[in-house]
Amino acid sequence: MTPPVSSTVDAGSVVLLDRATHLLLAVTGGDRPSWLPWLMVGLFGVVMAISWTIQRHQRRELHEALNRFVDRHDGWHLQAWPCGVHTEQLVGRFEATPRGDRRYGVESAVGGPAEMEISGATVPCQVACFVWFHERRRTQRSRGRRARTTYDRRTELVAMCQLPVHTHRAVSIRPESTLGRVGLTRSGQQLESEAFNRRFRVEGRDRALVVTLLDAGLQELLAAEYGERGIELSDDLLVLSGEPTHRDRSLAGIAQTYPAILQDLTRLVRSIPPPFWRSLAFERPTPDTSPPPPPSPPSPQDR
């Protein structure tokens, strides 16, 4: 009986060593020619070399694309921690950043300063685009064999903005489940619009804050443009997750989505109603009206 095969998905590559080992054991039995195992090992090595070359090329393309995207925005750079927030402060904090069953973390993170329109005022904020990954355990059982455990690698595209105020209460707006959309199940905060309730599941302990946030204008925008996206607020962080509707084909890999998700984040922040910001004691930045300093007198060398 052939022993069970264990494979692990990690960073887009499949670990095939176990499969090769079992294949080698299988072909060495019986009266098969002695050269057949070495042929199989050689073919496996060729496949692994080709796979490694392709992945190396894709990583190089992605790195170059991220640098090109960063060059479009003053002050932006590649980041290990989005908006300076450590991975351990993100994991489990949002539905878009789950812990999973094994590894988790941040990939392809870029960010820096960006001007956001908040309550009609232009406010500099820290913004980041990144990919959150985690692994889910999957156990399969079959007759006469031990359980086989594999790990599925899952990713979520995220854009995050560090706001100038703290909500002090978490708010989550996510697509409603299939059963919820047909009215069989319903959870979270229920708003006046039945159509909106069928599209989104809204979670938030402070109902007054939720109602102030989701005015008629924002509900209409979310239903039209953000129907399959997740929007979450926690303290001073706003997270937008999910795939945008278009891509920048001049970039490569996941970087193709960054221009669009950044635009979507900017539009979302701009569309949040002013009463919501006032309820959080947001103060408009006062313009600098002080007169410019007088010109310095010329130095003796310039005379």
Q: What is the pLDDT along the chain (303 residues), one digit of tens a residue?
A: 444 333 333 444 444 445 555 544 454 454 556 777 777 777 777 777 777 776 676 678 889 999 999 999 999 999 999 999 999 999 999 999 999 999 999 999 999 999 999 999 999 999 999 999 999 999 887 776 788 889 999 999 999 999 999 998 899 999 987 666 656 566 677 887 888 988 999 999 899 999 999 999 999 999 999 999 999 999 999 999 999 989 999 999 999 999 999 999 999 999 999 999 999 988 877 655 556 666 656 555 545
Question: H helices of the chain, where?
Answer: 17-28, 35-71, 87-90, 178-181, 194-199, 207-213, 216-225, 258-271, 274-279
With the C-alpha atoms ordered 177, 182, 187, 190, is the resulting torsion angle positive or negative? positive
Of the candidates 13, 5, 12, the residue with the CA atom closest to the CA atom of residue 47: 13
Yes or no: say if 279 and 212 are a contact pair by the CB < 8 Å rule: yes
pTM to 2 decimal places: 0.76
